[in-house]
Chain A
Amino acid sequence: MSQFGDYMAELLATKPSQDITPFLSQYSIYLYISVIVVLVVVVYACKKVQLIPHGFWAGGFEHMMDWLRRDVGYNVIGPDADRHMPFLMTIFVFILTSNLIGLIPGVHGATGTIGVTLALAIISFIYFNYYGVKAQGKRYILSFAPKGVAFPMNVLVWVIELFSCFLRLITLAIRLFGNMYAGHLALGAFAILTSVFFMPLAQGLTLAAVGGALPGILWFLFLVLMYFMELLMACIQAYVFTMLSSVYIQLAAYNEE
């Protein structure tokens, strides 16, 4: 069992963010790969726009777009959602692709590092503030204060709401990064546990080694279970990021009671 601690410390100590050169890492290589994958799939799917989409990719993209427009667009933003769909769809497809690429064993997906998720969060932050200022002008900064609250409390709530607006930037970044990184760590821990129990088998096929490998089978089942859990998590986190972006856009730009 002490082997597990050693391997786990090694896993935690690896910093793939700087491994090739200080400016090029495995994360950035997989970032470019996921951008290329998105571009290829989208260009292939939308090569010719048809009234009735034919084929696997075109039909799938059409379905996803339609679902996002209904579920994230019209449900949250309202009838003006079509203006924001290109942005939300781009964010969703990119995050989903990099999350799923990160689940291939041995790959460091781009969303597993704080730099990429913080960049995405800053893009979203600037986007919804831009539309808030565009819709409300100078009154946007005052719109954080709730209406119908008496004078002294008004100012206090305004300060808290302004602070929580900047906190949105941090929580958007931390949520995506934390989910992905914790998932990768959990998968790594289960993989290490499996290999620790199976390792005596590699040195010789004895009865003791076979008996010692039995708990490894259990850990391997946990690993497979966790992998499917992370597959679900990759989709849900892309959805949550898109959903929260659209909720923030709605709060900033369309919140006139």
Chain B
Amino acid sequence: MGVIGYGLGVIGAGIGIGLAAHGAALGIARQPEMQSRLFTIFILGAAFSEALALIGLVLALIQ
């Protein structure tokens, strides 16, 4: 049951990381010279939304 809950929770994090990657790809395509700054921002955004999924994973494991 916890695994199912974790799968449901990961949907949101997946959408979040996908949106971050979308924005970063668009930005880099328009301004390739900003690549290093945009990559940093992408990693930060992905890390923040990933943390939510990982809290779900930990909760699913410790039950």
Contacts and interface: CB of A to CB of B under 8 A. Distances in A.
B36 A71 contact: yes
Contact of B51 (A12, A171, A181): A171
Of the candidates A178, A239, A244, the one having the most CB atoms from chain B within 10 angstroms of its own CB is A178
A17 to B, nearest CB: 13
A176 to B, nearest CB: 9
A244 B44 contact: yes
Given A71-B40, A75-B40, A243-B40, A178 B47 contact: no
Interface in B47-63: 47-48, 50-51, 54-55, 57-58, 61
Contacts of B37: 75
Interface in A26-81: 71, 75-76
A50 to B, nearest CB: 28
Contacts, number: 42
Contact of B43 (A12, A177, A178, A239): A239
Contact of B54 (A76, A174, A243, A244): A174
Contacts of B48: 171
B51 A243 contact: no
Contacts of B50: 175, 179
B57 A182 contact: yes
A247 interface: yes
A178 B40 contact: no
A40 to B, nearest CB: 30
Contacts of B54: 174-175, 178-179, 182
Contacts of A244: 44, 47
A71 B36 CA distance: 8
B58 A178 contact: yes
A243 B55 contact: no
A196 interface: no
B61 A243 contact: no
10 contacts: A75-B37, A171-B48, A171-B51, A175-B47, A175-B54, A178-B54, A236-B43, A240-B44, A240-B47, A243-B47
Given A174-B55, A178-B51, 4 more contacts: A171-B51, A171-B55, A175-B54, A181-B58
